[in-house]
Amino acid sequence: MPFPRKLLIENEQLVLELRPHWIALVMPAIVTILVVVAWSLAVSYGPDTGAGRDVTFWGATAIAILVLIWFPVRKFIAWVTSYFVVTSDRVIHREGWIAKRSMEIPLEAINDVRFHQGVFERIIGAGDLIISSASEFGREVFGDIRNPEHVQKTIYQQGELNKDRMYRGVGRDSAAAVPAPPATSGATTPPMPPASASATGELERLAELRNRGVLTEDEFQSQKRKILGG
């Protein structure tokens, strides 16, 4: 089942769509095998005839079904309905069938992306992805991610592209705020400097981007000098 495209916002591009690695199903599969073996032993070595056999059969069956629903079936449904998605604007994690859980982290809010792989995980191409952000989620660990090193690189690349788009947007807004000089005949007059209100608004916007971690202090000072004509 693919990620629902209707959840994307306007002009947002889907870059990476992942389902959890198959390693997440190993433990549920082991539990399923153990439950089937235990059920078979209980039925085989129970009473051969009479009411005792019926009690043993139905009791073992009920316990087996409860255990299967509680762990293997629940884990399988979580695996089938789980998505880890990277878009041009966000990192999205959704899971659940009836009760759903969704998490969205804007790329500009991400401060750090790390991954962890054990020896066996590196062999099979799985691992944990750790994302630290300035959003309400803070530090989040996503387990059983396929090829986490590639996912880390993709998030960084999309973050840089997203930051570049925001810079271009700031530049366009700044240019639009500067009034065009009036048309004159004869002597050429020097263009009027930007209005102080426009410069103040632009500085406030840059300060907000710096506070959110989108701009570094050096980048903020550079943009500030450009606006003030330095």
CATH (domain of 69): 2.30.29
> In angstroms, rounded to a whole number, what is the distance separating the alpha carbons of residues 174 and 72?
57
Q: What are phi and psi of 208, to 5 degrees?
A: -65, -40
Residue 29 in domain: yes
- Which has more pLDDT, 176 or 146? 146
Q: Return the pLDDT at 115.
A: 92
Residue-level length of the chain: 230
Please identify which residue in the block is written with the tokens 């690695």.
21
pLDDT band at 50 (very low <50, low <70, confident <90, very high): low
Residue 219 in domain: no
Residues 6+ apart with CB under 8 A from 9: 89
> In angstroms, rounded to a whole number, what is the distance separating the alpha carbons of residues 67 and 118?
30
Residue 45 in domain: yes
Range of the domain at 79: 13-153
- The overall pTM is greater than 0.75: no
Which amino acid is located at 230 in the chain? G
Residue 119 in domain: yes
Whether 201 has a pLDDT exceeding 70, the answer reads no
Residue 163 in domain: no
Mean pLDDT, the chain, as a whole number?
Answer: 79
User: What is the per-residue pLDDT across 70-118, written as a single tens digit (0 to 9) for each?
Assistant: 889 988 888 888 889 999 899 998 887 776 788 888 888 888 999 999 8
Residue 5 in domain: no
> In angstroms, rounded to a whole number, what is the distance separating the alpha carbons of residues 20 and 22?
6
Residue 201 in domain: no
- DSSP reduced 3-state for 143: strand
Residue 181 in domain: no
> In angstroms, rounded to a whole number, what is the distance separating the alpha carbons of residues 230 and 228?
6
Whether 169 has a pLDDT exceeding 70, the answer reads no
Residues 6+ apart with CB under 8 A from 202: 170, 173, 174, 177, 227
Whether 192 has a pLDDT exceeding 60, the answer reads no
- DSSP reduced 3-state for 182: coil
> In angstroms, rounded to a whole number, what is the distance separating the alpha carbons of residues 77 and 144?
15
Q: How far is CA 162 from CA 28, 78, 118, 156, 158, in A?
A: 39, 31, 32, 10, 6
User: Of the ranges 3-7, 62-66, 125-129, 151-155, which one carries the lowest mean pLDDT score?
Assistant: 3-7
Which amino acid is located at 168 in the chain? R
User: What is the per-residue pLDDT across 128-168, written as a single tens digit (0 to 9) for each?
Assistant: 999 998 766 678 889 899 999 999 999 999 988 888 887 77
Say how many domains are in the chain: 1
pLDDT band at 65 (very low <50, low <70, confident <90, very high): very high
Neighbours of 214 (CB within 10 A): 22
Establish how many alpha carbons lie within 13 A of residue 79's alpha carbon, considering only the half-sphere containing its beta carbon.
19
Whether 229 has a pLDDT exceeding 80, the answer reads no
User: Of the ranges 15-24, 34-43, 92-101, 107-116, which one carries the lowest mean pLDDT score?
Assistant: 92-101
